[in-house]
Structure formats: C-alpha cells, structure tokens
Structure 1
Amino acid sequence: MLENLFNRLEEIYPELVELRRDFHMYPELSHEEVETPKKVAAYLTSLGLEVKTQVGGRGVLGYLKGGKPGKTVALRADFDALPIQDEKEVEYKSRIPGVMHACGHDIHTAALLGVAKVLSEVREEVPGTIVFLHQFAEETSPGGAEFMIKDGCLDGVDVIYGAHVMSQQPYSTVSVVEGYASSAQDDFYITIHGRGGHGASPHETVDALVTGSQVVLNLQQIVSRRVNPLKAAAVTVGAFTSGSTTNIIPDSASIKGTVRTYDEGVRKLIQESMEKIVKSTCEAADATYELKYVNDCPSIYNDPTETKRVERVAKSIVGDENVIESDPMMGSEDFAYYQKVIPGTFFIIGGRNEELNATYPHHHPKFDVDERSMKEIGKVFIGTVFDYLENE
C-alpha cells in the first residue's frame, strides 16, 4: 500500500510545486497571515476533510477520520514568512516587497497539503485519525504553537511529527536527533541607571557606561564558571548602547542579548545567575538597574521511540546511507511546545542542491531549496503515520 501512496505523491508533485510557488510569491509575515490560511483551509475542504480555522488566531486544522478505529496522529507544518527582500532571480520570486519565505515554510505547507490529498483518497484504509496542523507565526515570540495548543489543537492527539527542510543538508538525505534537538531560547534586556556628568569630573558621577561594561564582562563567567562543562549553553550579548560624545559620562546604558540552553536545570541556573551578577555589579557602582528576562521557546525534546520510528521509516525510503544521526542545533523551534504536551519528534529533510543554486543559508535574501524535498517530507510523513497507527 505504501508504494502506491508514494507513487501517488509522485503523480501530484507538479501540483505541489504550483502550491509552493504560489505561497512563495505571496508570503505573509507572522501574525499577519490572512490569505495563506484561507488557501490552506480551502484546499483541505476540497478534499472532504473536516476543517477548523482561526485556531489560536490564524491556525488551520484538517481532520481525516479513517475507516478503521485507532489512535490520532498530528502532522505539523508552519506557513509564516520573514521580513526580508527576496533577491533570487527566479520566476516565483516574492511579489511582496520586503517579505519572503526565507526558511522553507512554503515547502512545509505544500508538502503537508500533498500528504492530506494522498491520504484522503484512501481514508477508508486509515486505522485512526490524522490531524493536519497548519501553524501560523513560527518565526516570532510568542509563536503560534502556544496559541494553538491553548485553543485545543492537540485535544485527543496521541503523537505529533514535524519536519523542516534545510538548505545546509544535501537533497535526498534525512537527519534525526534523539533527545534534545534544539536549544531553548531566552532573551534579556538590561537598563542601567547611573548619574551622568562631565568627562573631566568622573568622581562626581555614577558611570553607567563603565558599569555596563563590567556587567557584559561578568556575564561571560556564567557559562565558563557556573555551568557544568558537560552541558551546552551560550550567553550572548547582542547589543550594548551608551553615551553619545567624547566628554560626557552617560547616565544610562542598555544591554540586550540571548541565552541558549538544552537542559531545564541549566536554563534556570543561568537566569538566576544573571540576576545575581547584574544586581551585585550595579550595587558595587551605586547604580540602579532594570532586568527583563524573557523565557521564550523551550528545547525540542525528541521522544526516543518516535525518533527511532522515523529513522526506520526514512531508511526504507532514502536508504540507510542517506539517514544521518545529526548533532543538536543551537537554534530554536516552537515545535517544542507541542512536545511539552504529547510525545513527538522533529526531523530534518535535505534541500541543498548546488545545480539549482540552492545553497544559501536560512534567512538569507537568496534562500531557496530543491522543491523535490516536498516529496521526501511527504513520504516520511506517510510512512510514519501508517507505522504508528498500525503498530500502536
């Protein structure tokens, strides 16, 4: 049966390309998606599926209820774009100034619509229920996953799978990571208040710039001296702003940055350590401060059983030699929120192809991938769904 479904996916591939290029030409930013969810909902409705719209705000759910009883599987794709000017010279270049699909979400969406079409044609043979979860606003914080979960997108769902195309990974390869697969992302914003004055009279001031510099340096001790060397973490100051000219000691300084961790214990340790360091450094200089620490996206934790399932299925499709057990990435992905509720796994599909000039990194103005990656996503999704429903 799977071979027939894979052949059907090959047959509708031109339709998937058409869908993907339409999404690519008319991208929409996070939390501003209007036409994209309409297109997704209309397509799912045309397949005879039960469809829910405006889930959590702009999300779309499609329900395929099989002809046989069984568990419920969710497949997730995201459909928001980025505020980047498309610089590719292709016929499907973005028509929206300053907005483009620079991360592959158009690929994910079209691929999942293709899976929905193929499986809807054999719904009587499906032993359970499949939820096609189309998420908005993956690129921002707060992201769409949180809102959709609160609105019940996982109600009754037993397991969830997600995929991401990667331009750094060669086409026709699949990579999996068991356990932690992406870092948690937290952001911090520090404002230091001193007492400004003349550069010739520093003793009459509380120098916010110098105090801020000490804070930046002291923050570097968190990972090097407080975090277990066997556990990965990064504390990065991305912006430090203070002062305006040569002979004025500024009365304020602004520091912004990000924290990346895997382990929840390390995540908590870094936040607590940062609060202590900022407090003590400012008190020593007679300065005051404001610290805003934002817990953003948690780490993706891939369920070992489900990761092994995807690995096994992927090997049967692309061959053992093309399935990679990769290292965790320090980037974040709000698929992690779903995994806080139910088991699941998130895998990577290669999209790099030098012949197509599909080599640029994600979030680059010339980003593109081999569109055939949609077939690989679709096949792994289909194979995994049946493996789960028939064996669980």
Structure 2
Amino acid sequence: MIELIANLEERFREKYTFYRMEIHRNPELSYHEERTASLVADVLKGLGTEVHTGVGGHGVVGILKGKGPGRCVGLRADMDALSIQENTGLPWSSENDGVMHACGHDAHTAVLLGAAHVLSEMTDRFDGTIKFVFQPAEENSPTGGAPFMIKDGVLDNPKVDAMLGLHVWPTLKTGIIGLQTGAVSAASDRLGIVVHGKACHASMPDMGIDAVVVGSAVVMALQTILSRSVGASDRAVLTLGTVKGGDRYNIVADKVTYDGTVRTFDPTVRKTMERLIKRTSEGVAQSLGGMAEVNYSHGYPSAMNDPEVTSVAQRAVVEVLGEKGLLSDLPVHPGGEDFAFFAEKVPSAFAWLGCCPEDVDFEDMPPLHNEKFLPDERALPIGVRFMVAGALEMLKGEER
C-alpha cells in the first residue's frame, strides 16, 4: 500500500506544489481567507468530493466516501496567515503588503489538498469516510477558528471517530516526524492587569499612590507563583509582554496596565495559575494602598494526543519513513494550537513535520513567525504520504 501511496503522491506533486505557491503568494489573515477557501473548494469539487463551504466562517469541508460503510476520520489543515512583511526573496513571495504565511499554513493546506488527490484515487481500497477539514483563523487566539467549525457541525454527519493534524516544525530535520502521546502544546491564556493608584505631583509622592511602584511589586510577586506555588514536576510560563503607564515625567502615575500570556500543560495547574494570579495581584496592590483589576481570558486548551490514535498514527510514520523517522519523546511545545478544541471532542493525534533542510544548521533556520521563515519543500511530500497513510490506518483503527 505504501508504494501505491508514494506513486500517487509523486503523480500529484506538481499540482499541490502549485497550490502551495498560489496560497503563499496570496496570504489572508484570520477571518479573511476568502480566496484560499475558494481555491480549496474548487480543488475538492474537481476531485468529486462532497463539499461544504462557510463552515465556521471561511472553513471548507470535503467528504470522501470509500467503497463501503465504516469509521470516519477527519484530516485538518489551517489556512490563515500572519501580519508580517515577508522577506524571503521568493519569486512567489506575498503580494499582500504586510501579510505573510510565516507559520506554514500554506504548506499545511497544500499537503492536505495533496492528500485529497491521493485518497480520491484510492476509494476502492478503504471502507468508511474521510473528512478534509480546512480551518480558518487558527492564529486568532484566544478564540481560534476550530470552535466555530465545531459549532457548525464539522464533527457530525457523519460523526468523526478520530482526527489527525500536523504542523511544519523548523526544529526538526526534514525526514523526521515528531509524534507523542499526551500533551503536545500548551494551554494559551491571555492576562490583563490594571493597577490603580492616585496621581499627584512627582515632587510630593507622599500625597498620592504611585501605580508604577505598586505595579512593579505586583510583577515581581507574580513570578514567585512559578517558583513557589507550581510543583517542580509541573510546567507553567507567565510573561507580561507590555506595560503602559503615566502621562508626564513630573506626575505620579495613577494607572499602569499590563498585558501578557500564561502557558500551562495541565488543567489543574491552569486553574491554580488563574486563582493565584488574581489573589497575588489584588493582595499586593492592596497592601501598598492601590488596587488591581485582573482580566484572565481562557484561550486554546492544551492539545492532547490520544494514546490509541497516536499509536495508530505512529504506525503510519514508520510506514512512510521507517523507524528512524519517528521521534516520540520530543519536548512539549509551549505555544498554543487550536487543534486542541478538536482533540477535546474526538480522539486525535497531532504531529510535528520536520522541515529544516539537512544542510542547514538549526541556529540558521528562521523560526516560525519570522519574516524569512520557509519550510523545506522536501517536507511536503512526506506530509502528504503521512496524512494519507495515517487516514487509512485510522480508518482501520486497532484492527490488524
């Protein structure tokens, strides 16, 4: 079977490479993926699949049925781009000023379209149904596009039994796929803190309450949560990325605002962080005569790979790349990924597709969300073959 998959992938490589270039050349931000969605829908219709558009916004779903009844497997790719000015020098660089596919979603979409081409030629070789889920707005944390597709019924009619997704990964070499059980990404929450004081003349600070001083104490105290209230075997990140306060050099500030993010990998730790951040901020501010307002917004949950589904998907990795191509003990990624919403509803597996060229050192490989990020083109055929093999294995489940 893997030889057939490889032959079909090679046959359609020029097509899905063209799709990738077109999507890269015309990147679209979250909730604006009209052109990308139209391209996807046209390709799927041309393959004879049942196509649904406008799912959860600009989401597109293709339904491909095999030769008989059976399980239903969902394959997901995200489509949106980022607000970055591209600097790759590609002849097919972004033509949309200030917008770029700097996170590889163009590659993800092309890979899944390639998989759709291959699987549409193999319907006589499997029972069941495959859903191709092209998702908008993955970059739009804290909401994301996945919940809206779920609300619109993407996991129903027919009911999805298992789901598979991937992400190009520049810290893995091309030819390696990272795939482990358990947490694969962090819960990504937004944190906003407003510290209130009392304004006065800077020469008479005793007449007011300095929000800058109060806020500084709050910031320092928050970091002790990580060192003293989170267990040594647990992980959490708390970063305040912006601070704004004061109107003039000779006025004691009456308000300082902070915005940041909290990353956790366990639901219990997530609840603990939220509770302690509020308690610490409010308590420290009050002790210094000020007041703190905390706005803690839940974003993407931690994406969890189901053990059984992951085991089946790992089997597909080995079929495509051999044992040496599977990395099953890589560190948990501290970033957010809204595939997690699918994984909360359906047993799922999410893989990291190595895309750093063999002749490029990791320190020289531009990272995700960088103006020069460019995944190795040789990773795309691997992604296509993995998604196809993974879908077929997952349709069989644990049956051998």
Q: TM-score, normalised to structure 2's length?
A: 0.95
Q: Which amino acid aligns with 1:5?
A: I
Q: Distance in 2 between matches of 1:50 and 1:364?
A: 36
Partner of 1:71: 71
* Kept after mapping to 2: 8 A contact 1:165/1:348: yes
Q: Which amino acid aligns with 1:21?
A: M
Partner SS state of residue 71, structure 2: strand
* Kept after mapping to 1: 8 A contact 2:81/2:101: yes
Partner of 2:146: 145
The one of 382, 385, 396 aligned to 1:376? 382
Q: Structure 2 regions of 5+ residues with no counterpart?
A: none
1:338 matched to 2:339? The reply is no
Partner SS state of residue 146, structure 1: helix
Deviation at residue 140 of structure 1 after TM alignment: 0.9
Partner SS state of residue 223, structure 1: helix
Deviation at residue 78 of structure 1 after TM alignment: 0.5
Deviation at residue 2 of structure 1 after TM alignment: 3.2
1:26-70 Cα distance to aligned partner (Å, 9 max, x none): 000011111110110111011111000000111000000111111
1:361 matched to 2:367? The reply is yes
Stretch of structure 1 that moved more, 304-313 or 107-116: 304-313
Q: Distance in 2 between matches of 1:268 and 1:120?
A: 45
Q: Which amino acid aligns with 1:248?
A: I
Partner SS state of residue 69, structure 1: coil
Q: Distance in 2 between matches of 1:274 and 1:5?
A: 51
Q: Distance in 1 between matches of 2:164 and 2:299?
A: 21
Partner of 1:279: 282
Partner SS state of residue 368, structure 1: coil
1:75-123 Cα distance to aligned partner (Å, 9 max, x none): 0000100010111112111111111100111111011111111111221
Partner of 2:88: 88
The alignment's C-alpha RMSD in Å is: 1.4
Stretch of structure 1 that moved more, 102-111 or 286-295: 286-295
* Kept after mapping to 1: 8 A contact 2:203/2:250: yes
Partner SS state of residue 340, structure 1: helix
Identity %: 39
1:201 matched to 2:187? The reply is no
Partner of 2:354: 350
Q: TM-score, normalised to structure 1's length?
A: 0.97
Number of equivalent positions: 392
Partner SS state of residue 22, structure 2: helix
Q: Which amino acid aligns with 1:144?
A: G
Partner of 1:7: 7
Q: Which amino acid aligns with 1:377?
A: G
Partner SS state of residue 378, structure 1: helix
The one of 229, 233, 238 aligned to 1:230? 233
The one of 244, 252, 269 aligned to 2:255? 252
Deviation at residue 322 of structure 1 after TM alignment: 2.2
Q: Cα distance 1:354–1:91, how it changes in 2: closer, same or farther (>3 A)?
A: farther
Deviation at residue 203 of structure 1 after TM alignment: 1.2
1:139-161 Cα distance to aligned partner (Å, 9 max, x none): 11211101001111111000000
1:192 matched to 2:192? The reply is no
* Kept after mapping to 2: 8 A contact 1:314/1:380: yes
Partner SS state of residue 329, structure 1: coil
Partner of 2:124: 124
The one of 369, 375, 392 aligned to 1:386? 392
1:335-364 Cα distance to aligned partner (Å, 9 max, x none): 000011010010011111165898211111
Deviation at residue 372 of structure 1 after TM alignment: 2.3
Q: Distance in 2 between matches of 1:118 and 1:201?
A: 75
Partner of 1:306: 309
